[in-house]
Amino acid sequence: MMLEVLTGTGLAASAGLNAYIPLLTLGLLARYSDVVDLPGSWQWLGNGWVLGILAVLLAVEVVADKVPVVDHVNDVVQTVVRPTAGGLVFGAGSASETVTVSDPDSFFSSTGQWAPVIVGVLIALGVHLLKSAARPVVNASTGGVGAPVASTAEDAASVLMSLVAIVLPVLVLAFLVVLPFFLGWFFRRRAQRRRERRAAREAGFRV
């Protein structure tokens, strides 16, 4: 029960960073390996056409997210896409047999197939909102130079989280433990920057 929830959680969190990486990872592993066995209702994720479309969308996302200003527009568009992807991968991942989950129906069978999708949407939306709030801070503090660096780190984290969620989902717990500390640091940093900008404006008025 816990492993399938952790698998879905890790995949949904990954989708909050990049909508297409966990979908593509799950589909590729299901199509070309024995690591993932998708249930009948999710077999379409391993379809060649679906994988091709996801690959193209991923290429567009990777480029757009690394350009200052364009990344902000992309984040606005992705406010719908990433939570949707999070719902899909949570639903598919938590219902699939993997190297660590052999009885995926044990937890969500009594709650209906939409329950895991809704949970995935909420998880991905939370991660997406955090990413969207952090990016302007990164851009402002680095003059835009940090955008491609931050985006590359997010993509790498999305790939790693997707693989970990499928192969070793217990490590998703580490993410859940670290996240509150990161949130605390982020909001303190954001408040500090606001105080600095306010102080700079006040100093300018005095001059």
Cα–Cα dist 76/78, whole Å: 5
Q: What are phi and psi of 168, to 5 degrees?
A: -140, 70
Can you tell me the mean pLDDT for 38-60? 92
Can you tell me the mean pLDDT for 22-50? 91
The 10s digit of each residue's pLDDT in 159-204 is 998 999 988 888 887 777 776 676 666 667 666 776 777 777 666 6
Per-domain residue ranges for the chain?
2-206
Residue 206 has pLDDT above 60, yes or no: no
Task: Assign 154 a pLDDT band (cuts: 50, 70, 90).
Answer: confident
Residue 48 has pLDDT above 90, yes or no: yes
Task: Assign 150 a pLDDT band (cuts: 50, 70, 90).
Answer: confident
What does the pLDDT read at residue 102?
59
Q: Which of 5-9, 90-94, 132-136, 158-162 has the lowest mean pLDDT?
A: 132-136
The 10s digit of each residue's pLDDT in 99-142 is 566 565 555 555 556 788 899 999 999 989 988 887 777 777 77
Cα–Cα dist 24/110, whole Å: 28
Residue 87 has pLDDT above 70, yes or no: yes
Can you tell me the mean pLDDT for 73-92? 92
What does the pLDDT read at residue 14?
93
Task: Say if CB 104 and CB 59 are below 8 A apart.
Answer: no
Task: Assign 78 a pLDDT band (cuts: 50, 70, 90).
Answer: very high
**Tokens of residue 53, six digits:** 């479309």
Q: Is 109 helix (H, G, I), strand (E, B) or coil?
A: coil
Q: Which of 12-16, 90-94, 119-123 has the lowest mean pLDDT?
A: 90-94
Task: Say if CB 143 and CB 97 are below 8 A apart.
Answer: no
What does the pLDDT read at residue 113?
67
Cα–Cα dist 25/27, whole Å: 5
Cα–Cα dist 99/166, whole Å: 8
pTM attached to this predicted model: 0.81
Q: How far is CA 75 from CA 66, 72, 90, in A?
A: 11, 5, 21
Q: What are phi and psi of 33, to 5 degrees?
A: -145, 175
Report the candidate in 130, 43, 50, 133 with the shortest Cα–Cα distance to residue 83.
Answer: 130
User: 7-40: buried (b, 16+ CB within 10 Å) or exposed (e) per residue?
Assistant: bbbbbbbbbbbbbbbbbbbbbbbbbeeebbbbee
Task: Say if CB 32 and CB 180 are below 8 A apart.
Answer: no
What does the pLDDT read at residue 5?
84
